[in-house]
Amino acid sequence: MNKRPVARARRIRFSYPTSSWRRHFADNDLVMSHTVAYLSGIFPEGEDFFIRSVRNYADRITEPELKAQVQGFIGQEVTHSREHRELNARLQEMGYPTERTDRRFRWAMKVYERVFSPLTCLAFTAAFEHYTAVLAETMLTDERARKLLGETEVRDVLLWHAFEESEHRAVAFDVYRAVGGSERRRIWAMRWATTAFLISTFFNITQSLLGDRAAYNPVRLGRSFAALRHSPFLTRDMVRRINSYNRRGFHPDDVDNTELLAHWTAELFGESGSLTNHLR
């Protein structure tokens, strides 16, 4: 397993113009636009839940490198939450129900924290971090996935978010392991998370589409659903990577991403990187 660079929080800001965005900003695709808006809608409360789950055990981490990784993880997630709240306000103005999504997810995370133990919440965090890392690395490795994001500021936000998710993909997992979390609980939490995520995603995206007049055009809606068959986010390889988490002895670094991170560090934050003007 390669030694990972320490994740670090970046002071970054994005701008969200009040005009010029197409309603269906994700390559003019109905379903993909509503999917991206839904995922952005759940990120702020999700990131806050992840932070609380890891913080619950931060004082039990004594290994210096992991302590530094935890600090970087928390700093990155705080920034992710803040920037997605800004993006969600813009998406709400465009007609996507991000405020409703945020309220529902806040309620769900509070239920999790009431019903489940802190260690199980940490196991959920590790599981969801695996999901986000696999989605992130799909975006970073597949040009088709990036093309779906169009050319708006949404693309910049999601590329930055994807890069940092790939950077800190193992932190919650390593904290869980360091504080004695079992393989059985970890795998159970992943299966629960998968079921809950798929059901809530289907329900909320369907409801979001029902609020969009363009979705009542059967030809356009049919083409959008048909395009899912070729989606880079629904390939067999991606499903295999998601399911690999259920293998005993799994670790996020089983798939080496050092070259991927080096490439995107230069692409996003190098001398002529596409996001250098966003750094503060």
One pLDDT digit (tens) per residue for the chain, 280 residues: 456 778 888 999 988 776 667 889 888 999 999 999 999 999 999 999 999 999 999 999 999 999 999 999 999 999 999 999 999 999 999 999 999 999 999 999 999 999 999 999 999 999 999 999 999 999 999 999 998 887 778 889 999 999 999 999 999 999 999 999 999 999 999 999 999 999 999 999 999 999 999 999 999 999 999 999 999 999 999 999 999 999 999 999 999 999 999 999 999 998 888 899 888 7
pTM exceeds cut of 0.85? yes
Is 1 inside a domain boundary? no
Nearest to residue 54, comparing CAs of 136, 160, 126, 138?
A: 126
Domain count, the chain: 1
pLDDT of residue 1: 45
Is 213 inside a domain boundary? yes
Q: How far apart are the C-alpha atoms of 255 and 252, rounded to whole Å?
A: 7
CB 133 within 8 A of CB 250: no
pLDDT of residue 193: 94
Is 215 inside a domain boundary? yes
Is 165 inside a domain boundary? yes
Is 8 inside a domain boundary? no
Is 202 inside a domain boundary? yes
Instruction: Tell the residue number behind the tokens 């909320």, with chain if given.
Output: 204
pLDDT of residue 190: 97
Is 14 inside a domain boundary? no
Q: Provide the residue range defining the domain that includes 224.
A: 30-278
Is 21 inside a domain boundary? no
Structure-block tokens of residue 143: 């040009």
Instruction: Tell the residue number behind the tokens 């994001």, with chain if given.
Output: 149
